A and B are shown apart, each in its own frame.
Chain A
Amino acid sequence: MSNIFPKSANSLPLQLIIFLFGLGGIMTVGVTYYMTPKYTRVGYAPVQPVPFSHALHAGQLGLDCRYCHVAVDQGPASTVPAAQTCMNCHNQIKVDSPLLGVVRQSYETGNPVPWVKIHQVPDYVYFNHAVHVNRGVSCVECHGKVNEMEVVAHAQPLSMGFCLDCHRNPELRVREPGDVFNLDSPTITQQSGAEAGKRFVHDWNIKPPQSCSGCHR
């Protein structure tokens, strides 16, 4: 009987197994790296209908976040301002700017400016802004340094792991109540040490839920 397979075919099963392991490794690394909000969402900076600069308004002018995002400390939602809020100043400043045409039109007609939503948690997540900002969790923890952004970009993954990081160790992230809307302020831990952070969490009775129903309903 002649040889049908060359001699090298003897090592083929082993080589195949090694290759499949390698491929599996590559797939695992790929999925871990790419199939997470750290890749899919962080850096999302859509083009907005009005080139509003947070760096100018919140940074340079020093407007408080709440001037526009009214009631963020009173209810679950941090609201997007109506065009009237823009017109408070822009009825006198840059009144003829073509960039503000959409805002003026919205103010006259009452139809909202079609802002593009950047941070959007799934509908099964019940996030409450007021609960967080009234207990020392600053805007900057989830939204990044918006006061330095010309164009707002998604800064943090806002994944469940991201939420739990803080819910497990709130003492590392809390700020003095007066510093919550100051995006450049240090956390209590950075300012006065880990003990002070823990004390704040205790004194303010901060008990972030880690149970499912804390955030999901």
Chain B
Amino acid sequence: MRNVYLVTAFLVVLALSVLGLRGTKFIRPPLDVFPEWAFPGMKRQSKYKHQAASKFFADGRADRPLPPGVVASSQGPAGQPLRNDDSLYTGKDASGAFVARVPASLTVDRTFLEHGRQSFTIYCAPCHGALGDGNGITKQYGMGATPTYHDERLRKIADGDIFNTITNGKNNMLPYADKLVPRDRWSVVAYVRALQRAQSGTVADVPEVNQAELGIK
């Protein structure tokens, strides 16, 4: 009987040393307690999930690219889900010139600007800086010159031109159309305008009642 206990103890120590403890870092694919061959079709079912691989399509992806010209029904403003407002998607009017203002179908209000601020902070600020002065964090890591928004040329360009730059990119800047739907892009345009206005403000812009609390005389 003593030998049986010894063998058991040895096996326990062996198992412990092979299996190790919880939480240890490892690189090999995780063990499966209920493996697929024993329970087929449970954990891995015959369906496609996001960004999955597919043997059916020639390019090997389950996610299908949009056919040209197709617009997701959620992209339009409320009440006009389909693409019946071209300037909303291109930033250009019928003659091909950039529209001067954010399309009228979008209401520029506080919520819209806050949404623009959020999108700007995530996607633009890393290079353009939180103030839009071109001093984003990437500059320290070797990013090429990023223009400041606060010069005469960029203050005067049309809203549609900024929208076009976000959509299609410009020079070294790649398109951000895959990250921001048109409504998001217009909200960023509106926020960029707000940044420009803020940076070009003067004492005269501060209401008189507030001047005292800012220490302006």
Contacts and interface: CB of A to CB of B under 8 A. Distances in A.
B26 A45 contact: yes
Nearest to A60: B137
Interface residues of A, number: 50
A93 interface: yes
Contact of B26 (A15, A44, A79, A124): A44
Interface in A16-63: 19, 22-23, 26, 30, 33-36, 38-47, 61-63
Contacts of A39: 19, 22
B25 A79 contact: no
B30 A40 contact: yes
Nearest to B65: A110
A64 B8 contact: no
Interface string A81-95: 010110111011110
Nearest to A91: B172
Contacts of B122: 64, 66-67
B44 A41 contact: no
A67 B123 CA distance: 6
A79 B51 contact: yes
Interface of A: 12, 15, 19, 22-23, 26, 30, 33-36, 38-47, 61-64, 66-67, 70, 76-77, 79-80, 82, 84-85, 87-89, 91-94, 110-112, 122-124, 153-154
7 contacts: A12-B1, A22-B8, A33-B22, A40-B33, A84-B178, A91-B172, A111-B60
B172 A92 contact: yes
A31 to B, nearest CB: 9
A63 B126 contact: yes
Given A44-B26, A64-B122, A77-B50, A82 B33 contact: no
Contacts of B19: 34, 39
B21 to A, nearest CB: 8
B179 A70 contact: yes
B126 A67 contact: yes
B31 interface: yes
Interface in B142-171: 142-144
Contacts of A61: 126, 137-138, 141
Interface in B95-152: 121-123, 126-127, 137-138, 141-144
Most buried by A among B1, B59, B172: B1
A92 B30 contact: no
Report the contact-size class of chain B (Cβ under 8 Å from the partner): 35 or more
A44 B30 contact: yes
B107 to A, nearest CB: 20
Interface in B47-64: 47, 49-51, 59-61
Contacts, number: 106
A15 B3 CA distance: 13
A35 to B, nearest CB: 5
Interface of A is mostly: loop
Contacts of B24: 43
Given A91-B172, A92-B142, 7 more contacts: A19-B8, A67-B179, A79-B50, A85-B179, A89-B126, A93-B138, A122-B42
B7 to A, nearest CB: 11
Most buried by A among B12, B122, B143: B122
A216 B9 CA distance: 42
Nearest to B175: A84
B217 interface: no
Nearest to B9: A26
B203 interface: no
A23 B81 CA distance: 67
Nearest to B169: A88
The 9 tightest CB contacts between A and B, nearest first, are A77-B50, A122-B43, A123-B45, A64-B122, A40-B31, A35-B33, A93-B142, A39-B22, A43-B25
Given A19-B4, A47-B27, A80 B22 contact: no
B213 interface: no
A46 B1 contact: no
